[in-house]
Structure formats: structure tokens, C-alpha cells
């Protein structure tokens, strides 16, 4: 999970920079530091969503039950991934981003290219704005940032019914 502005910066730089050597150069964009699901989902609790850690099998059963009952969920087409043993059957490759990091030297002051807690708060605000998520309900939570609502649309995968 890499912030889109980081990906755009890397892509633009790759497009305008001369490539050294005669072969095709691969420029992987990778989050640094690598985010974890625990880090990402801890933001939910921080901003007032009822989220608690549980064993994978419990989570899978609850997700399957919810998606099958509601069926108006963007995860419905992806449910088959979850019904397998997701933690062991899906491993992301360890991407070698040395070429991109080399290209960024002199053009970028930071190697930090991950989703921060503040950026996660913006993502959550947007998901609420497009009615993909309900407003957080837990008291005492950190406040989410206000976003402008020009040209707001429903999130894909939701009928709004």
C-alpha cells in the first residue's frame, strides 16, 4: 500500500529520466516502511470504529456471514479469496526497488513512502463521504479530517439501496 501521490511522483520521474544501460529497467515502487494489517486496522479503532483483533477463522466466518447476508458489498466478488486460507495462500513478493530508490536520489528528500496514520484518516474520511463506511460511533476517538465534497459519488460496488 503506497500513497498515490508517491506513485505519481515515481512514475513521473521514471517517465522523464533517461534510463541507463541498453536493457529494460524495472522500477518497482514499494512502501517504506512496509505497512502491516495491524497498523492499518489500528487506525479504525483510533478514529472511532468498532474494530477488534480476532483469530483469522473467526474473522473469515463473520465476513462471509456479513457479505452473504448483505450482498451489496464491494467484497462480494472477492469472497472466494477469503474462503481459502488467505494468510498462507497469499504472499506478496518482496519487490526489489533499488532501481527506483537510485532514480529518486537527488529528486526526493525522503525514503518514506508508506501510508501514515494521518493519510489513513483522510482515506477513512473519504470512505465515509462516499457512504462506503458509516460514521464512526465510539466516543473519545480522534476526529477525522473534514474533506470537501465537490463531485462526490457513491463508491463503486455499492448500489445505495
Q: For residue 49, what pLDDT is reported?
A: 92
Q: For residue 156, what pLDDT is reported?
A: 60
How far is the C-alpha of 36 from the C-alpha of 105, rounded, in Å? 26
pLDDT at 27 over 80: yes
How far is the C-alpha of 22 from the C-alpha of 13, rounded, in Å? 19
Tens of pLDDT, residue by residue over 69-108, are 887 777 778 777 777 777 776 677 788 989 888 888 878 6
Confidence of residue 23 (pLDDT cuts 50, 70, 90): low
By CB atoms closer than 10 A (0-12, 13-18, 19+), residue 63 is middle
Confidence of residue 57 (pLDDT cuts 50, 70, 90): confident
Task: Give me 137's grid cell.
Answer: 460511533
State percent of the chain over pLDDT 70. 83
State percent of the chain over pLDDT 90. 11
- Nearest CA to 59 among 36, 89, 40, 79? 79
By CB atoms closer than 10 A (0-12, 13-18, 19+), residue 144 is buried
Can you tell me whether residue 65 is helix, strand or coil?
Answer: helix
Q: For residue 161, what pLDDT is reported?
A: 44
How far is the C-alpha of 95 from the C-alpha of 92, rounded, in Å? 9
Q: pTM of the prediction? A: 0.73
Q: For residue 59, what pLDDT is reported?
A: 84
Amino acid at each position: 500500500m503506497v500513497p498515490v501521490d508517491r506513485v505519481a511522483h515515481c512514475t513521473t520521474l521514471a517517465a522523464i529520466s533517461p534510463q541507463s544501460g541498453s536493457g529494460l529497467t524495472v522500477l518497482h515502487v514499494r512502501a517504506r516502511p512496509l505497512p502491516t494489517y495491524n497498523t492499518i486496522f489500528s487506525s479504525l479503532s483510533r478514529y472511532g470504529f468498532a474494530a477488534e483483533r480476532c483469530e483469522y477463522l473467526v474473522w473469515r466466518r463473520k465476513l462471509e456471514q456479513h457479505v452473504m447476508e448483505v450482498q451489496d458489498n464491494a467484497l462480494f466478488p472477492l469472497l472466494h479469496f477469503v474462503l481459502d486460507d488467505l494468510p498462507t495462500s497469499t504472499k506478496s513478493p518482496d519487490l526489489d526497488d533499488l532501481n527506483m530508490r537510485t532514480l529518486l536520489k537527488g529528486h526526493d528528500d525522503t525514503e518514506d513512502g508508506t501510508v501514515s496514520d494521518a493519510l489513513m484518516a483522510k482515506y477513512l474520511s473519504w470512505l465515509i463521504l462516499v457512504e462506503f463506511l458509516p460514521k464512526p460511533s465510539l466516543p473519545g476517538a480522534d476526529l477525522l479530517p473534514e474533506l470537501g465534497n465537490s463531485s462526490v459519488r457513491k463508491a463503486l460496488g455499492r448500489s445505495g439501496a
